[in-house]
Each structure stands twice: as structure tokens, then as C-alpha cells.
Structure 1
């Protein structure tokens, strides 16, 4: 179900309709308002120019965050592969250790056939 929320951006009210929660939609509106105010405060640009510059700035943020996200995905994939490799090595080491413990137990439980002479 879509939610209908009115947000104020650059002193103008906009009614947004979206499936997200009201709080989320308000947060998005507040973010855009903040970004457009930052562009407009030091500029004599028209509201249209300010909106376009704001769109460029937000798109820049978006692309940078997307790049960071992709890098994190690659790092996570590499870490998961390394973890899988280490788990396999650990499993093999445990298997070898178990075999060596059994062999040691077998050797220590056998009677000693060597006699010590003085």
C-alpha cells in the first residue's frame, strides 16, 4: 500500500506517494531540502538551476556510494572464499591430528619390547 506524505523542499510543499513508511519519505524530503538549501545559500541561481545542481550533487553521492558498495561486495566475496579455504584447511588439520592421536595412542598402549640393560 502506498503512503501519501507532504514534504517541504525549498519552501514548496510536495505530496509524495510511495510504498515506504512515512518517516522514510520525510527523511528523503528533508535530505533533498538540505542539499538544495546548501546549493542555493551561496548562489543567485534560479530554483530550477539550484534543483539541477542539487540533482548533480546527489547523483555524485549516489555513484560514489554505489562504488563503495560494490567494493565491499568484492571484499566480502573474497573474505568468504578465504574463510571457506581456511575452514577446509582446519578440517584437514583436525583429521590429520585425529589420525596422529590414534596412532600415538596405539603406540603407547603396546607393550614395550625393548629392555634396558646396564
Structure 2
């Protein structure tokens, strides 16, 4: 069921409707409000331009985060592959040791 919440972003009320809970939606709105407020204060631009610049900044952060996450996934996969290879090598060495011990007893 969709949740409906009214939030204030840069002095304007917006009604958001989403599946996420209201606390999450408030967090999202707060982030947008913060970004827009920073842009308006720093660049002396209007709300429309601030909204576009905030969207660009947030999209940039999103893409960089996704790239970082993908790099971490690749690194973890590499570590897992190395661990599997080491495990296989250890198993082979144990097998060879057992075989050598059996031959030494003959």
C-alpha cells in the first residue's frame, strides 16, 4: 500500500506518494531540501535552477556510489575466487600428503 506524506522543500509543500515508509520519504525530502538550500545560498539562483542543480549533484553522487559498489563487488568476487582456488590447492596438498604417508608405511 502506498504511503502519502506532505513535505516541505525550499518553502514549498509537496505531497509524495510511495511504497516506502514515511520516515524514509521524509529523509529523501530533507536531503533534497538541504541540497537546494545550499545551492540557493551559495549560487544565488532561483528555485527552478536550484532544483536542476540539486538533481545533477544527486545524480552525480548516485552514479559515483554505484560505480564504487560495482568496484567493491568485483573486488569481493576476486577475493572469493582466490579463496576457492586456495581451498582447492589445500585439498590437493592434503590428498598428496595422505598418499605420501600411505606409501611411506609400505
Structure 1 and Structure 2 fold alike (TM over 0.5): yes
Q: Which has the higher helix share?
A: 2
Partner of 2:5: 5
Pairing 1:10-49 to 2, within 5 Å after superposition: 10-49=10-49
Pairing 1:42-61 to 2, within 5 Å after superposition: 42-61=42-61
Measured in 2, the distance between the counterparts of 1:94 and 1:34 equals: 60
Pairing 1:100-111 to 2, within 5 Å after superposition: 100-104=100-104, 106-107=105-106
TM-score by length of 2: 0.89
Number of corresponding residues: 106
Deviation at 1:46, TM superposition (A): 0.9
Give unpaired runs (5+ residues) of structure 1.
108-118
Measured in 1, the distance between the counterparts of 2:87 and 2:32 equals: 47
Give unpaired runs (5+ residues) of structure 2.
none
Q: Give the structure with higher Rg (CA).
A: 1
RMSD of equivalent CA atoms: 1.4
Q: Deviation digits for residues 54-112 of structure 1, max 9, x if unmatched?
A: 111111111111111111121122112111111111111121222233334x25xxxxx
Measured in 2, the distance between the counterparts of 1:101 and 1:21 equals: 64
Measured in 1, the distance between the counterparts of 2:87 and 2:52 equals: 52
